[in-house]
């Protein structure tokens, strides 16, 4: 391993990542699709999150599924996937596990479905399992798992009971107190967090006077959500820091500077998602930028950046009276 490779390597739940970059779920299919991009190397990313997977196959939402917005993108794919058993039996054997880590993304409409999909992935070569708790619980009237801390913890506990692989809980920003949710999930047995998922939004065609997305609403991603994501990462880091629990920080990262901000805020790894759609070869550029920053500031490795944000002392309130 060269000096620059050593500078970029990070430990995530006992897994060695070549770099702190993680290709996010939904943006690289099931891994094999992205490897067909000319010039791409699996070694440019520390890990790849596979597309959200449910127990049975799903066709997803009706068109349109994507809408471009200022500094971002709305998507409402609807978890189109071939089902967990097909992914494990037919797709995973075609992936090269020697160059990067692969993380399954588990989704479901009931706690029982989350548990069963996790159990299926536990009996596979997958390196870690990400729990997508932004799905509605059909048995609880459609309430979103990730917006209810108690419900989030129940999902984590159910998945924890059927796997010893690292569990990464993907937290929703569409909730009142993300720090409380993180605390509950830690108690339930999560090993790490992905912060944040997309923010719910909408786009309208004013000529047709209709929603652009077939699902009416979708998840907003891209640079527009970066300030929100940074704050959420830092809030969750405050909960995780005493326990040494790592975070994948994500939301609008499109440059080395963006990635470094998330590392300073407390992320151990950083997710690249929407940026891949307009620059599929962005990863080596971000890696090079991080190395340049480390060398310029004489910092030995990425690990030395994690959570090193220097917080200003509180300013005393000025009072005229």
pLDDT score, position 315: 45
* 3.50.50.60, 1.20.1260.10, 2.60.40.420, 3.20.20.70: CATH of 3-304: 3.20.20.70
Taking a C-beta distance cutoff of 8 angstroms, is the pair 128, 117 a contact?
no
The confidence band for 143, taking pLDDT boundaries of 50, 70 and 90, is: low
Write the pLDDT tens digit of every residue in 159-169.
999 999 999 99
Does 112 or 36 have the greater pLDDT score?
112
Supply the pLDDT for residue 241.
Answer: 97
pLDDT at residue number 277? 92
Question: Is residue 281 a contact partner of residue 39, using CB atoms and an 8 Å limit?
Answer: yes
Which residue of the set 135, 159, 185, 240 is catalytic?
A: 135
- Residues paired with residue 19 on neighbouring β-strands, in sequence order: none
Q: Is 13 a catalytic residue?
A: no
pLDDT at position 139 over 80: no
Confidence tier at 9 by pLDDT (50, 70, 90)? very high
The residues spanned by each domain of the chain are 3-304
Asked whether the predicted pLDDT for residue 316 surpasses 80, the reply is no
Percent of the chain's residues with pLDDT above 70: 95
Among 185-194, 221-230, 308-317, the range scoring the smallest mean pLDDT is 308-317
Model confidence pLDDT, tens digit, residues 44-62: 999 999 999 999 999 999 9
Mean pLDDT of the residues in the chain: 92
Q: What is the pLDDT of residue 32?
A: 77
Q: Which pLDDT does position 271 carry in this prediction?
A: 98
Mean pLDDT of 89-111: 94
Distances (CA, A) of 47 to 179, 207, 241: 25, 43, 22
- When pLDDT is averaged across residues 128-139 and rounded to a whole number, the result is 82
pLDDT digits (tens, 9 = 90+) for 198-255: 999 999 999 999 999 999 999 999 999 999 999 999 999 999 999 999 999 999 999 9
pLDDT of residue 142: 57
pLDDT band for position 294 (cuts 50, 70, 90): very high
Distance (Å, whole) CA 316 – CA 304: 31
Exposed / middle / buried, residue 136 (Cβ in 10 Å: 0-12, 13-18, 19+)? middle
- Residues forming beta bridges with residue 66, ordered by sequence position: 75
- Report the pLDDT value the prediction gives residue 4, as an integer from 0 to 100: 79
242: CB partners within 8 A, 6+ apart: none
């Amino acid at each position: 391993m060269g000096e620059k490779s050593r500078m970029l390597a990070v430990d995530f739940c006992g897994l060695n990542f070549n770099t702190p970059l993680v290709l996010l779920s939904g943006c690289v299919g099931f891994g094999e699709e992205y490897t067909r991009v000319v010039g791409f190397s699996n070694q440019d990313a520390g890990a790849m999150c596979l597309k959200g997977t449910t127990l049975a196959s799903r066709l997803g939402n009706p068109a349109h599924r994507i809408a471009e917005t200022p500094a971002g993108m709305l998507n409402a794919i609807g978890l189109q996937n071939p089902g967990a058993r097909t992914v494990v039996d037919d797709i995973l054997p075609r992936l090269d596990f020697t160059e990067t880590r692969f993380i399954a993304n588990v989704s479901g409409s009931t706690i029982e479905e989350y548990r069963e999909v996790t159990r299926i992935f536990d009996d596979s070569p997958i390196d870690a399992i990400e729990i997508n708790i932004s799905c509605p619980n059909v048995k609880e009237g459609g309430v979103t798992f990730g917006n209810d801390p108690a419900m989030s913890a129940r999902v984590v506990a159910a998945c924890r009971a059927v796997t010893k692989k690292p569990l990464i809980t993907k937290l929703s920003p569409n909730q009142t107190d993300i720090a409380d949710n993180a605390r509950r999930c830690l108690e339930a047995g999560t090993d790490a967090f992905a912060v944040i998922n997309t923010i719910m939004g909408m786009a309208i065609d004013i000529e047709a006077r209709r929603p652009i997305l077939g699902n009416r609403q979708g998840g907003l991603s891209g640079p527009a959500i970066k300030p929100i994501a940074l704050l959420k990462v830092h809030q969750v880091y405050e909960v995780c820091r005493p326990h040494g629990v790592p975070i994948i920080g994500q939301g609008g990262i499109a440059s080395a500077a963006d990635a470094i901000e998330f590392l300073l805020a407390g992320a151990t790894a950083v997710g690249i998602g929407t940026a891949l759609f307009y620059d599929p070869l962005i990863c080596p550029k971000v890696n090079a930028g991080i190395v340049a920053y480390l060398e310029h500031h004489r910092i030995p490795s990425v690990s030395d950046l994690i959570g090193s944000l220097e917080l200003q002392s509180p300013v005393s309130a000025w009072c005229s009276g």
